[in-house]
Structure 1
Amino acid sequence: MLNKQLIYLILGLAFVIAIPIILNVFIFDTEPTDSNSDSDDGKKIYWGIDSASSAGKDVYQCVKDNFGQPGVWGRYIGDKEDVSTGLSADEAEFLHEKDVRILVIYNHFTDATGYDHGVDEAKHAIELAQKLEIPDGVAIFGDIEPKFPVDSAFMQGWSDTLTESAYEPGLYGVFDEGSAIVKAYNATESKMRENTVIWTAYPQEKITTKENAPEYNPQGPEDALLYGWQYAIESDKCKIDTNLFKNEMLDYLW
């Protein structure tokens, strides 16, 4: 039989060994719960969604039951009538409690032309982010829809203003070869392209569950920081779009 002192010594050593493991799992691990797959370069790919409606308990449960646990949830900041409901502080807290990272989207323009216009929209985005107390370093993705007029000056103004702020610039759009948005992007300064994260909606596949998501294969400008792919839109259930994100995108999420 082991004497009491030896038993206490063994228990003490086990406790000391367990402390860093516990801290790493419950405190220092800030990545989503699990990744969806590995990309060709061996880096993790995360499955997620975006929605125009609030990510409350019912919507979250609908997504989890029908599609799987998302690691990322794209949400808009500021209400846009008949289009999207703005992210709230309570909603953000709820998603974080579920270990879901938030991709921040700004969609309060329908014309993406002009440097000064890009500056003004970026300033409005920054103001909305600050009201929500979104932390420094998070990217704000300007939503440039296919029907919007777009030029490089707007992108430059958007990127310059966000780069000079506490936040990072991001752009969302259908970045298919030969499109107006790709031509505008390619005409921007190299520094803008080096600083701006791209979330593309091209090509389009079908809506899937997390388990059946396609391989990460987005298309966009060759030199882009292409870290996100909205591979399918407008699901019948839960009213969501489905996405895949490279591991690098985590650095730009809330």
Structure 2
Amino acid sequence: MAAVLLLLSLFSGLYIYKAGLKEGKEISSSAQPMDGTNNINNQIENNGSKSAENTVENQIENEAGKDVKNNITNNITNNVEVNVQGDGDVVNTISNNISNSVTNQNTGGSGNGNGDGGNGSGGNGDDDGNNSGSGQSWGIDTASPLTEELSVCVRDNFGDPKVVGRYLGEKEGVSSGLTKEEVDLIKSNNDEILLIHNRFDDAAGFDKGVEEAEEAIGLAQEIGAPQGTALFADIEPNYPVDAEFIIGWYETVSSSSYAPGIYGIFAGDEALTAAFTEAVNQDASIQDDTYLWTAAPNVGITTEEDAPEYRPQAPEGSKVIGWQYGLDAQACNIDTNLFNNEYTDVLW
């Protein structure tokens, strides 16, 4: 049916396991530190034959200790070829149980390759600790221009962001607009850009939603944002807000080459949460296609190393791309965030 090659590396030792696969393979690994660092590397490769029914189930469970640095890498590659008569099912489950420690780095990856007529599905299970599903990336947002000086300040005091939130166009006295020079600097660091539209202070009415969406689309095009990038309407807690604005924003952005997003405090008792829920009740596709970036709950600024467990608040079933968990750092003009890697393909 298929064959499995597992490479499991603990510390400096290397363990190789090779076996035939009938219905899948379950791998459990644990590490106790020798020098204050756990290095766990799991690699599984499945090669399924053509003209056969290939059923592949992979499960990896990692146990890592506390008060140490845990580096965990999980890679699964499924090469399954089937013809018209063949069929294929692929299931990948990864669980990382990481105790609170100095730093944890988890890289989970899975890839499925299918031949003619092949069908495959893969997924990563929930992780305990600071990662869930496909994992999170630490990031920042700032109302200031992202200069080299600010970048150094962030790295020296907080960490290395993988996502940078910046604003479309200037809002006088509030935020500067993203420039092409900033884009070049951010991209030179291999970081992604989250685009924020905040040039309004009233989020009520369908026509207003359309108006703000059209402006955001134009500003995104001016700066060269690629197709498929999400645009986030910044709805502050003191703004008037209703479902009609959200519907107008959603319909207009969705009809463009960009994806709709909304930023705000999506706690249960907020007007924004009620407005979003009402909009979804009128059009269920709003929940399916809108990315939410929530500022709830606010647990305070941290370094990347001390980022909290990922627990954003937002309406059940919504696509929560990120959590702005800390506001107004003192050392640098930034807020701190965690972003869900499942959805970051809509960032620039």
Q: Structure 1, residues 21-44: CA drift from partner, whole Å, max 9, x if none?
A: xxxxxxxxxxxxxx9657634321
Does residue 68 of the first structure (1) align with residue 162 of the second (2)? no
- Does the CA contact (< 8 Å) of 2:166 and 2:196 recur in 1? yes
**RCO higher in structure (CA 8 A, sep ≥6):** 1
Structure 2 CA distance, aligned partners of 1:226 and 1:61?
29
Structure holding more helix per residue: 1
User: Kindly tell me: are residues 219 and 36 of structure 1, through their superposed partners in 2, closer, same or farther at Cα, counting changes over 3 Å?
Assistant: farther
**CA-to-aligned-CA distance 1:22-74 (integer Å, 9 cap, x gap):** xxxxxxxxxxxxx9657634321100000000111000000011001100000
Please tell me whether the aligned partners of residues 321 and 344 of structure 2 are also in contact (alpha carbons under 8 angstroms).
no
Aligned pairs, number: 220
More strand by share: 2
Q: Which runs of 5+ in 2 are unaligned?
A: 1-103, 108-125
% of aligned pairs identical? 46
Q: Provide the TM-score with structure 1 as the length reference.
A: 0.84
For the 8 Å contact 1:143–1:172, the answer to whether it is kept is yes
**How far apart are 1:153 and its partner, in Å?**
0.4
Cα drift, residue 248 of structure 1: 2.1
Q: Match of 1:204, as an amino acid? A: N
Hey, what does 1:90 align to over in structure 2?
181
Residue identity in the other structure for 1:250: T
- What is the RMSD of the two structures over their aligned residues, measured on CA atoms? 1.3
Instruction: Encode CA deviations 1:174-219: one digit per residue, 9 max, x unaligned.
Output: 0110211011000012111111000000001121100110010001
Local SS of the residue matching 2:332:
coil
The 3-state SS of whatever aligns with 1:192 is: helix
1:1-254 equivalent positions in 2, closer than 5 A: 37=106, 40=127, 41-188=132-279, 189-254=283-348
CA shift for structure 1 position 249: 2.8
Q: Which has the larger radius of gyration?
A: 2
Q: TM-score if structure 2 supplies the norm length?
A: 0.62
CA 1:37–1:125: 2 relative to 1, 3 Å: same
Structure 1 unaligned runs (5+)?
1-34
SS at match of 2:343: helix
Residues 119 and 161, structure 1, Cα contact 8 Å, conserved in 2: yes
- Superposition misfits of 4+ residues, deviation over 4 angstroms: 35-39
Distance 1:36 1:239 in 2: 26
